[in-house]
Structure 1
Amino acid sequence: ERKMRKVILVSMLVCCFGAGKVQGMMVYNFGGECDIDFRVNDSVYIDDNSAEGPTTVNLLDGGLIAYFMKVSGDSVFNMYGGWAGGDLEFYDHSSGYICGGVRMSDLEIWDNSRLTIAGTGFNYPYGTHQNTTGYLTGTLSNGEPIATLFYIHDSATMTLVPEPATLLLLGLGVVIWTRRLYPPKLSAGSIP
């Protein structure tokens, strides 16, 4: 009976303190498009389907990905909102677009993959960045801050672009500036 008590006690201690969190992986590889506006308590793997082609996954407001994400094989990940808790990794010619949401960990871009980030106030200049490592800060297009380590390797690129409203204002400024430099010519019969 004493031996049985020890076995039960040890079993309880192992169950209470020794068991770690079990983490699964949600795999998207059906060759279509999917919106995540719900909670995913697993890691996410996005890959292409040889028969159906690349897969596109969009993280939207209300969506949450608890652990890391891996995008591979010409597939696409777009982050318009939501919350991503782990590393975001791009491999094998995959691509991504981030303009909103909250990022909590690192960005890794490998193997000719492309990532575009839209926003303002970045501590790196707008344009394409290759083969570098750093810490990116700024504000995404939806107003959320971004502060993340990034790693770019193997001919991969990260392109920082201004938010669309900034581009619109810039275009309007160019039109006004051009009109001032080259005012319309009045014809002989027109009234000034």
Structure 2
Amino acid sequence: MKTGKMTNCLLLVFLIVTDSTKADFTLRGNEQLTFNWQTINGYLYNTSRVFIVPNGHISYLRCYNYSTANMSGGIAVRINSYNYSTVNISSGSVSILAADDSSTINLSSGTVARIDTFGYSTTNISGGNISGNLYLNDYSNMNFFGGTFNGLLSNFYDFSTTTFHGKNFNCGSGLTLNGNRILGTGILSGQWLNGTTWSVNIMYNDPTATILIPEPATLLLFGFGAVMLRKKRL
């Protein structure tokens, strides 16, 4: 008697839609979608993924569970990440970007007008432009490695933590440095590690919030390592 083995396989669905106007979409399981039309709502669940490309225009995208949204162009009025979802933005324009729970946002390029963070979420900014307001709440974390700020007004609430990974920091009027922690409100300026200058207006800094800059020893070690690497190459 022959016996057969049945293997459960996940069916990977990859959709490409080119019509200019389509209905809302909902992705579940391991579904994938390349989005390049105009719609109002999008919902991601489980481990689904959406790729927002040029010509894509969505009013409200919600990401849940372990889903991923990748934006390489187009326009989004609002993107919200929940649970353990991830949002990666490498181009395009977002009016409101919000992270909650333990979700992660990575911004490497593009333009964002406003960022709101909640829960234990993590936001990593290595590039792009933030043109409006920044609000950190709860126990959320934000790491700045690069980017530009056009009139950015920053507000740090609750037990949030923000770290500026740069050098040559300057505390404007109203700001003081306690170890590697920034206290008070005012203009904080400096350079990213590639030498690009930046400045940010800290409008509200809750006593329980934490704003950090690298300790001088960290910067010295970084510089020393770079010198040793150059000598080794020579």
Q: Which runs of 5+ in 2 are unaligned?
A: 1-58, 60-75, 172-176, 228-234
Task: Pick the structure with greater CA Rg.
Answer: 1
- Between the aligned residues of both structures, percent identity stands at 24
CA distance in 2, matches of 1:146, 1:70: 21
Aligned partner of residue 169 in structure 1, secondary structure: helix
State the Cα distance separating 1:141 from its structure 2 match: 2.1
Is the 8 Å Cα contact of residues 107 and 124 (structure 2) preserved in structure 1?
yes
Aligned partner of residue 120 in structure 2, secondary structure: coil
Q: Deviations over 1:103-140 (max 9, x none)?
A: 2211211100000001111113560124x111111112
Is the 8 Å Cα contact of residues 116 and 159 (structure 1) preserved in structure 2?
yes
Residue correspondence of structure 1 range 91-110 to structure 2 within 5 A: 91-104=137-150, 105-110=152-157
CA distance in 2, matches of 1:41, 1:30: 20
CA distance in 2, matches of 1:40, 1:103: 14
CA distance in 1, matches of 2:130, 2:107: 9
Q: Does 1:78 align with 2:124?
A: yes
Which residue matches 1:168? 222
- Please identify which structure carries the higher helix content: 1
Is the 8 Å Cα contact of residues 180 and 215 (structure 2) preserved in structure 1?
no
> Which stretch shows the higher mean deviation, 150-159 or 89-98?
150-159
Is the 8 Å Cα contact of residues 165 and 192 (structure 2) preserved in structure 1?
yes
State the Cα distance separating 1:70 from its structure 2 match: 0.3
Letter of the structure 1 residue corresponding to residue 105 of structure 2: V
Letter of the structure 1 residue corresponding to residue 82 of structure 2: N
Which residue matches 2:182? 129
RMSD over equivalenced CA pairs, Å:
2.6
Which residue matches 2:133? 87
Which residue matches 1:55? 103
Number of matched pairs = 144
Instruction: Identify if the C-alpha distance between structure 1 residues 37 and 27 changes in structure 2 by more than 3 Å, giving closer, same or farther.
Output: same
Instruction: Identify if the C-alpha distance between structure 1 residues 167 and 91 changes in structure 2 by more than 3 Å, giving closer, same or farther.
Output: same
- Aligned with residue 143 of structure 1, among 183, 192, 195: 195
Letter of the structure 2 residue corresponding to residue 143 of structure 1: G
Instruction: Identify if the C-alpha distance between structure 1 residues 30 and 39 changes in structure 2 by more than 3 Å, giving closer, same or farther.
Output: farther
Instruction: Identify if the C-alpha distance between structure 1 residues 112 and 28 changes in structure 2 by more than 3 Å, giving closer, same or farther.
Output: same
Letter of the structure 1 residue corresponding to residue 107 of structure 2: L
Q: Does 1:42 align with 2:95?
A: yes
Aligned partner of residue 161 in structure 1, secondary structure: coil
Instruction: Identify if the C-alpha distance between structure 1 residues 142 and 56 changes in structure 2 by more than 3 Å, giving closer, same or farther.
Output: farther
- Aligned with residue 208 of structure 2, among 137, 155, 162: 155
TM-score scaled by length of structure 1: 0.66
CA distance in 1, matches of 2:226, 2:131: 38
Is the 8 Å Cα contact of residues 120 and 162 (structure 1) preserved in structure 2?
no
TM-score scaled by length of structure 2: 0.55
Q: Deviations over 1:9-35 (max 9, x none)?
A: xxxxxxxxxxxxx99422122413332
Which residue matches 1:69? 115
Is the 8 Å Cα contact of residues 115 and 159 (structure 1) preserved in structure 2?
yes
State the Cα distance separating 1:90 from its structure 2 match: 0.5
